[in-house]
Chains A and B, each alone.
Chain A
Amino acid sequence: MKISLNWLKEYVDIGNLPVPELISLLTMSGLEVEDYKDQNEIYKDFIVGFVKDKKKHPNADRLSLCTVYNGKEDLQVVCGAPNVDKGQKIIFAPVGSTIPKGNFVLKKAKIRGTESCGMICSEDELGLGDNHDGILVLDSSLVEGTPICDALNLNDVLIEIAITPNRPDALSHIGVARDISALLGKELKIPKVKSSKSISKLAEIEIEDKLNCPRYSAKIVKNVKINESPAWLKNKIKNIGLRPINNIVDVTNFVMHEVGQPLHAFDLNNLSKKKIIVKSTKEISTFKTLDSKDRKLPKDTLMICDGEKPIAIAGVMGGENSEINLETKDILIESAYFNPSSIRKTSKALALNTDASYRFERGTNPNITDFAAIRAAELIAEVSGGKIEEGIIDNYPNKIEPKKLTVRFTRISKLLGFGIDKEKIKNILSALELNIIKEDKDNLIVTVPTFRPDIEREVDIIEEIARINGYENIPTISKISITLDKKTDETTFTELIKSVANSLGFYEMINNPLLSKEKAMVIGDPIIVKNPQNLDMEYLRTSLIQGGLKVVSHNIKFGEKDLQLYEVGNVFNKTKKNIKSFDDFTEKSKLLFIVTGKSTKKEWNVNESGYDFYKLKGFLNSFERKIFLDNVLNDSYNAHESNFYDNYFQKNYKGKKIGEGGKLNKKILEQFDISQDVFLFEYDLEYLKDIAPDKKYYIEPLKFPKIYRDFAFIFDKEIIYNSVIEFISKNSSELSKSVRIFDLFENESLGKNKKSLAFALEYYSKDRTLTEEEVEKDFRSIIAAVTKKFDAQLRGN
Chain B
Amino acid sequence: MLQEKIKLINKDFSFEIKSIKDAKQLDDLRVKYFSKNGLVPSLFALLKEATSKEKPLLGKILNEFRTDLQNQFDNVNSQLNDIKNTNLNKLDLTLPGVISNIGSKHILTQTLDEIKFIFKGMGFSVHEGPELESDYNNFEALNFAQDHPARDMQDTFFVSDDFVLRTHTSPVQIRLMKKQKPPVRAIMPGRVYRNEAVSSRSYCMFHQVEGLYVDTDVTFAELKGTLASFAKQFYGDDLKFRFRPSFFPFTEPSAEMDITCFICKGDGCKICKQSGWLEILGCGMVDPNVFDNVGYDNEKYTGYAFGMGIERIAMLKFGITDIRVFFENDYRFLKQF
Q: Which of A327-368 contact B (CB under 8 A)?
A: 340-341, 344-345, 361-362
Which 10 pairs show the lowest CB-CB distances between chains A and B?
Answer: A417-B221, A417-B219, A30-B245, A505-B101, A482-B123, A164-B247, A341-B147, A463-B253, A477-B225, A509-B329
Q: Which residues of A contact B60 (CB under 8 A)?
A: none
* Beta-carbon contact of A482 and B122 below 8 Å: yes
Q: How many residues of B contact A (CB 8 A)?
A: 87
Q: Which of A520-558 contact B (CB under 8 A)?
A: 527-533, 537, 540, 551, 554-555, 558
A549-574 CB contact bits vs B (8 Å, 1 = yes)? Answer: 00100110010100111100110100
Q: Which residues of B contact A560 (CB under 8 A)?
A: 330-332
A614 touches B (CB below 8 Å)? no
Q: Which residues of B contact A530 (CB under 8 A)?
A: 157-160
Among candidates B106, B221, B288, residue contacting A475 with C-beta atoms closer than 8 Å: B221
B272-304 CB contact bits vs A (8 Å, 1 = yes)? Answer: 010000000000010110000000000000100
B126-154 CB contact bits vs A (8 Å, 1 = yes)? Answer: 11101110100000000000111110110
A661 touches B (CB below 8 Å)? no
* Beta-carbon contact of B220 and A474 below 8 Å: yes
Q: Which of B148-198 contact A (CB under 8 A)?
A: 148-150, 152-153, 157-160, 162-163, 165, 183, 185, 189, 191, 193, 195-198
Q: Which of A452-485 contact B (CB under 8 A)?
A: 457, 459-460, 462-463, 466-467, 471-472, 474-480, 482-483, 485
A499-535 CB contact bits vs B (8 Å, 1 = yes)? Answer: 1011111111111111000000000000111111100
B327 touches A (CB below 8 Å)? yes
Known: A489-B120, A498-B109, A508-B105. A416 touches B221 (CB 8 A): yes
A156 touches B (CB below 8 Å)? no
**Would you give the shortest CB distance from A501 to chain B, in whole angstroms?**
6
A639 touches B (CB below 8 Å)? no
Distance of A504 Cα from B102 Cα, bound (Å): 6
Distance of A361 Cα from B126 Cα, bound (Å): 38
Distance of A710 Cα from B88 Cα, bound (Å): 40
**Would you give the shortest CB distance from B267 to chain A, in whole angstroms?**
13
Which residues of B does A touch, CB under 8 Å? 95-96, 98, 100-106, 108-109, 113, 116, 120, 122-128, 130-132, 134, 146-150, 152-153, 157-160, 162-163, 165, 183, 185, 189, 191, 193, 195-198, 203-205, 217, 219-222, 224-226, 228-229, 242-247, 252-256, 273, 285, 287-288, 302, 326-332, 334-335
* Beta-carbon contact of A495 and B113 below 8 Å: yes
* Beta-carbon contact of A603 and B98 below 8 Å: yes
Distance of A217 Cα from B253 Cα, bound (Å): 35
**Would you give the shortest CB distance from B323 to chain A, in whole angstroms?**
11
* Beta-carbon contact of A462 and B219 below 8 Å: no
Distance of A404 Cα from B34 Cα, bound (Å): 125
* Beta-carbon contact of A507 and B147 below 8 Å: no
* Beta-carbon contact of B246 and A164 below 8 Å: yes
Known: A165-B148, A478-B225, A530-B158. A511 touches B122 (CB 8 A): no
Among candidates B127, B150, B204, residue contacting A166 with C-beta atoms closer than 8 Å: B150
Interface centre among B122, B147, B255 (most CB of A within 10 A): B147
Among candidates A416, A508, A509, A540, residue contacting B132 with C-beta atoms closer than 8 Å: A540
**Would you give the shortest CB distance from A554 to chain B, in whole angstroms?**
6
* Beta-carbon contact of A564 and B160 below 8 Å: no
**Contacts A/B (CB < 8 Å), 30 sampled:** A30-B247, A32-B256, A165-B247, A341-B148, A415-B219, A416-B220, A459-B288, A471-B255, A475-B224, A475-B225, A476-B221, A477-B224, A480-B222, A485-B183, A488-B127, A489-B116, A491-B189, A507-B334, A509-B329, A510-B109, A510-B326, A529-B158, A533-B204, A551-B328, A560-B332, A566-B103, A570-B130, A580-B163, A603-B98, A605-B95
* Beta-carbon contact of B103 and A564 below 8 Å: yes
**Would you give the shortest CB distance from B310 to chain A, in whole angstroms?**
10
Q: Which residues of B contact A495 (CB under 8 A)?
A: 113
* Beta-carbon contact of A480 and B253 below 8 Å: no
**Would you give the shortest CB distance from B76 to chain A, in whole angstroms?**
37
Known: A416-B221, A509-B106, A533-B197. A165 touches B205 (CB 8 A): no
Q: Which residues of A contact B332 (CB under 8 A)?
A: 558, 560
Known: A459-B287, A505-B103. A487 touches B245 (CB 8 A): no
* Beta-carbon contact of A28 and B244 below 8 Å: yes
Question: A561 — nearest CB in chain B belongs to which residue?
Answer: B331
A6 touches B (CB below 8 Å)? no
Question: A342 — nearest CB in chain B belongs to which residue?
Answer: B147
A604 touches B (CB below 8 Å)? yes
* Beta-carbon contact of A417 and B253 below 8 Å: no
Distance of A664 Cα from B70 Cα, bound (Å): 77
**Would you give the shortest CB distance from B28 to chain A, in whole angstroms?**
40
* Beta-carbon contact of B221 and A502 below 8 Å: no
A696 touches B (CB below 8 Å)? no
Among candidates A463, A480, A498, residue contacting B245 with C-beta atoms closer than 8 Å: A463
A587 touches B (CB below 8 Å)? yes
**Would you give the shortest CB distance from B137 to chain A, in whole angstroms?**
10
**Would you give the shortest CB distance from B210 to chain A, in whole angstroms?**
13
A114 touches B (CB below 8 Å)? no
A57 touches B (CB below 8 Å)? no
Q: Which residues of B contact A480 (CB under 8 A)?
A: 122-123, 222, 225-226
Known: A416-B219, A514-B204, A603-B98. A498 touches B330 (CB 8 A): no
Among candidates B130, B165, B224, B285, residue contacting A529 with C-beta atoms closer than 8 Å: B165
A430 touches B (CB below 8 Å)? no
* Beta-carbon contact of A527 and B132 below 8 Å: yes
Q: Which residues of B contact A502 (CB under 8 A)?
A: 102-105
Distance of A582 Cα from B204 Cα, bound (Å): 23
Among candidates A27, A460, A508, residue contacting B104 with C-beta atoms closer than 8 Å: A508
* Beta-carbon contact of A491 and B126 below 8 Å: yes
Q: Which residues of A contact B146 (CB under 8 A)?
A: 341
**Would you give the shortest CB distance from A428 to chain B, in whole angstroms?**
13
Among candidates B103, B108, B185, B244, residue contacting A507 with C-beta atoms closer than 8 Å: B103
Q: Which residues of B contact A345 (CB under 8 A)?
A: 147
Q: Which residues of A contact B330 (CB under 8 A)?
A: 554-555, 558, 560
A797 touches B (CB below 8 Å)? no
* Beta-carbon contact of A459 and B123 below 8 Å: no
Distance of A506 Cα from B335 Cα, bound (Å): 10
* Beta-carbon contact of B152 and A165 below 8 Å: yes
Q: Which residues of A contact B158 (CB under 8 A)?
A: 529-531
A606 touches B (CB below 8 Å)? yes
Q: Which residues of A contact B226 (CB under 8 A)?
A: 480
Not counting A471-B243, A531-B195, a sample of 17 additional A-B residue pairs whose C-beta atoms are within 8 angstroms of each other reads A340-B148, A341-B148, A463-B252, A477-B225, A480-B226, A488-B126, A490-B127, A502-B103, A507-B104, A508-B105, A509-B329, A510-B327, A512-B205, A529-B159, A531-B157, A558-B332, A566-B103
Question: B216 — nearest CB in chain A belongs to which residue?
Answer: A414
**Would you give the shortest CB distance from A440 to chain B, in whole angstroms?**
20
* Beta-carbon contact of A466 and B244 below 8 Å: no
* Beta-carbon contact of A483 and B185 below 8 Å: yes
Known: A344-B149, A463-B245. A490 touches B101 (CB 8 A): no
Distance of A506 Cα from B329 Cα, bound (Å): 13
Q: Which residues of A contact B222 (CB under 8 A)?
A: 417, 477, 480
A167 touches B (CB below 8 Å)? yes
* Beta-carbon contact of B101 and A585 below 8 Å: no
* Beta-carbon contact of A604 and B95 below 8 Å: yes
Known: A476-B225, A477-B225, A606-B98. A508 touches B125 (CB 8 A): no
Q: Which residues of B contact A476 (CB under 8 A)?
A: 221, 224-225, 228
Q: Which residues of A contact B148 (CB under 8 A)?
A: 165, 340-341, 344
A29 touches B (CB below 8 Å)? yes
**Would you give the shortest CB distance from A705 to chain B, in whole angstroms?**
33
Question: A589 — nearest CB in chain B belongs to which residue?
Answer: B128
A109 touches B (CB below 8 Å)? no
**Would you give the shortest CB distance from B17 to chain A, in whole angstroms?**
42
A84-99 CB contact bits vs B (8 Å, 1 = yes)? Answer: 0000000000000000
Among candidates B132, B159, B245, B328, residue contacting A29 with C-beta atoms closer than 8 Å: B245
* Beta-carbon contact of B103 and A551 below 8 Å: no
Question: B147 — nearest CB in chain A belongs to which residue?
Answer: A341
